[in-house]
Structure 1
Amino acid sequence: MSDKPKIGISIGDVNGIGLEIIIKTLSDARIYDYCTPIVYGHTKVASFHRRAIHVNEFNFNVIDNAGNAQHKKPNMINCWEEDVRIDMGKVTPEGGKYAFISLQRATDDLLSGHIDGLVTAPINKDNIQNDDFKFPGHTEYLQHRDSKEDSLMFLVNDNLRVGVVTGHIPVSRIAQSITAEKIVNKLKLMNSSLRDDFWIRKPKIAVLGLNPHAGDNGLIGNEEKDVIIPAIEEARANDVLAFGPYAADGFFANGTYMQFDAVLAMYHDQGLIPFKQIAFETGVNYTAGLSFVRTSPDHGTAYDIAGRNMASEVSFREALFTAIHVIKHRRETAELNENPLLFSKLSRDRD
């Protein structure tokens, strides 16, 4: 029996680039030295995408359940029986319907312990909406399925890690949604993830301000003085090494982010725009604070290039390997917690 993690993969919108980047990633045989991938979709849909990008020497091993996965092959669980109309590069109801079926089936297996982690290909947040998916995105859906009160959208690569206090909400609601309690909770989630998932023993976290120039001592806004600074002080009182607030523009422009293990931004674009500029194709979206491991590439469905063999699989491959590494770290952390003497020795070695 292999101890390699079984990684479930949801295919995302069938009219986007999801299956293209999945096929390109799994075409590298070296992947199977590190994990056993299980894709939740249908071989007919996969074959359509495979032909569209002119990949001939690749086939999925069809299985009925995750327990039958072959460790040296790309596995596929067929999640529906009917034929699916594919309109490459277009937003259609079918694109959302089958993206959800794939995600739901993969999440069911994840929560049942049949797979060890989940990598999600991009969805369209509009056409996937239905009676069972009334969420702004993957993060909120998976948090709900895991029965967690909170989670952290955490964008990571080798050089930068950025989390956000508020995620997929309108800009007009950002200021009223930011509270000291919410900031402290996000900092605690980030601190725990850095320690347990990324094995950074004493993480240093930078906190960005909300307003330009971090409020300029109240000249441009009071959120820093009234909300963010008290939250930082409370977090530090709870053994979280948080610093700030920093003005976002200068913080990234002058490279200050390189002095920290992670950055907490106040809202989506404040954190994701610089992250995507700095991380290029290597960025990964990781959902911290859940009982399971979930990652995704840091890009969308890319309808404009779907089916044209132009999509880069680099971010998806990074998402797959990030999931593998975090699963490994969590397993080793669990073993260390059961063996305090070994944990003490490893802590000394880290120092």
Structure 2
Amino acid sequence: MDKSNKIIVGISIGDINGIGIEIILKTFEDKRMLEFCTPVLFGSNKLISYHKKVLKLNNSIHGITSIDKIVHGKVNLVNIWKEDVKIEIGKITEAGGNYALKSLQSAVSALKENKIDLLITAPINKENIQSEEFDFPGHTEYLEDNLEGESLMILMTDELRIGLITGHIPISQVAETISSELIKSKVEIMHTSLKEDFNINKPKIAVLGLNPHCGDKGVIGKEDDEIIRPTIKEIQETGKLVYGPYAADGFFGSKTHQKFDGVLAMYHDQGLAPFKALSFGNGVNFTAGLNKVRTSPDHGTGFDIAGKNKANPASFKEALFTSLHIYKNRIEYQNLIKGALKTK
């Protein structure tokens, strides 16, 4: 396969009854997108053709039987199944989850074998995708299990990057999960990612508190004073620019987040609620800490608007451009390190 100089972007199609295929097709309606990369979808011709017909889209898709047959300058589609699949747009079905998983598995396999350079995942439904092969709360945990490294979910725009100390776990388990070791680990992943993936030489990171008002000196909880604050002090002694804990409400309300390169929230909604309020529809979910680059749009399957040609591809486009930017930054960083080693 002539790889030329184009970055090969693997794309899993997500739930076959959701808006994943729509936002993918709309992203590549503009043929100029093919100047930046070579996209490779993992699915089936019949499925894509069905969605094109329903949505009245006229994309040209190049079907291939093997990833080794990629053609640059085209939107490639690897046919990974031939059977007819019952499509029920807008509905949560067993088939929707099964074939979302087939697409994801095939894409991740190609990623591990270096047949694609990076991965963008269209939205899945966390309920119907569950099976013996997918026993995970979401994409992030599945990818961590299949790739190398320890993951950190980062929701981001050009101006804001929020990482999560704890991910998809019940609120009732958050306080008992927070530990000094976990905080140090996630700070290290974010610090490394900001340097290697975003070309920030001296990253400045804010850490949010766990309890309202950071516990008010123990009145509303002791974790901030007994775990988080001492841990931040330890990290600061290593020379990293890490500050906190900050009470989340005042932190975002006063726009203090604008002074930092990255923010670490203690739990999912503490980080994602303000993030989506500030940037919904244009944000990107980036899985930092792994040996491969993966991004996704910051929204879900959109069953309520699926098949109605109402889905906005803006977040998927941002996920694409973000992944390309991060991929190039990683190569540049590795070349910089190699150059430094040669001069020693």
What TM-score range do you get, normalising by the shorter chain? over 0.9
Q: Is the 8 A contact 2:17 2:96 kept in 1?
A: yes
Q: Is the 8 A contact 2:148 2:291 kept in 1?
A: no
Cα shift at 1:304: 0.2
- Structure 2 CA distance for aligned equivalents of residues 242 and 65 of structure 1: 47
Cα shift at 1:327: 0.7
Matched, 1:135 2:141: no
- What amino acid sits opposite 1:152 in the alignment? L
1:48 corresponding residue in structure 2 = 50
2:127 corresponding residue in structure 1 = 126
Deviates more, 1:65-74 or 1:121-130: 65-74
Partner SS, residue 105 of structure 2? helix
1:348 corresponding residue in structure 2 = none
- What amino acid sits opposite 1:25 in the alignment? T
Partner SS, residue 339 of structure 1? helix
- Structure 2 CA distance for aligned equivalents of residues 200 and 84 of structure 1: 46
Cα shift at 1:67: 2.8
- Structure 1 CA distance for aligned equivalents of residues 322 and 56 of structure 2: 28
Q: Is the 8 A contact 1:336 1:342 kept in 2?
A: no
**Alignment gaps of 5+ in structure 1:** 345-351
Q: CA 1:238/1:151 → structure 2, altered by over 3 Å: closer, same or farther?
A: farther
- Structure 2 CA distance for aligned equivalents of residues 174 and 15 of structure 1: 33
1:326 corresponding residue in structure 2 = 326
Q: Is the 8 A contact 1:63 1:76 kept in 2?
A: yes
| Cα deviation digits, residues 240-280 of structure 1 (max 9, x gap) | 21100000001001100000001000000000011111112
Query: Alignment identity in percent?
Result: 52
Matched, 1:212 2:228: no
* 1:250-269 correspondence runs (5 A): 250-269=250-269
1:349 corresponding residue in structure 2 = none
1:191 corresponding residue in structure 2 = 191
Q: Is the 8 A contact 2:11 2:41 kept in 1?
A: yes
* 1:1-351 correspondence runs (5 A): 1-56=3-58, 58-148=59-149, 150-340=150-340
| Cα deviation digits, residues 200-257 of structure 1 (max 9, x gap) | 1101000000000111111111110111112212222333211000000010011000
- Structure 1 CA distance for aligned equivalents of residues 279 and 132 of structure 2: 36
Cα shift at 1:68: 2.0
- Structure 2 CA distance for aligned equivalents of residues 267 and 280 of structure 1: 18
Q: Is the 8 A contact 2:65 2:80 kept in 1?
A: no
- Structure 2 CA distance for aligned equivalents of residues 216 and 15 of structure 1: 47
Cα shift at 1:64: 2.4
Equivalent pairs counted in the alignment come to 342
Q: Is the 8 A contact 2:80 2:103 kept in 1?
A: yes
Q: CA 1:306/1:234 → structure 2, altered by over 3 Å: closer, same or farther?
A: same
- Structure 1 CA distance for aligned equivalents of residues 341 and 266 of structure 2: 40
- What amino acid sits opposite 2:11 in the alignment? I
Partner SS, residue 71 of structure 1? coil
Cα shift at 1:122: 0.2
Cα shift at 1:5: 1.0
For the aligned residue pairs, the C-alpha RMSD in angstroms reads: 1.4
TM-score, normalising length: structure 2? 0.97
- What amino acid sits opposite 2:233 in the alignment? E
Cα shift at 1:342: 9.7
- Structure 1 CA distance for aligned equivalents of residues 173 and 211 of structure 2: 14
Cα shift at 1:341: 8.2
- What amino acid sits opposite 2:207 in the alignment? V
**Alignment gaps of 5+ in structure 2:** none
- Structure 2 CA distance for aligned equivalents of residues 200 and 89 of structure 1: 42
- Structure 2 CA distance for aligned equivalents of residues 191 and 342 of structure 1: 25
Q: Is the 8 A contact 1:336 1:343 kept in 2?
A: no
- What amino acid sits opposite 1:115 in the alignment? I
Q: CA 1:19/1:343 → structure 2, altered by over 3 Å: closer, same or farther?
A: farther
Q: CA 1:291/1:147 → structure 2, altered by over 3 Å: closer, same or farther?
A: closer
| Cα deviation digits, residues 50-76 of structure 1 (max 9, x gap) | 1111112x1210122333211111000
- Structure 2 CA distance for aligned equivalents of residues 342 and 244 of structure 1: 39
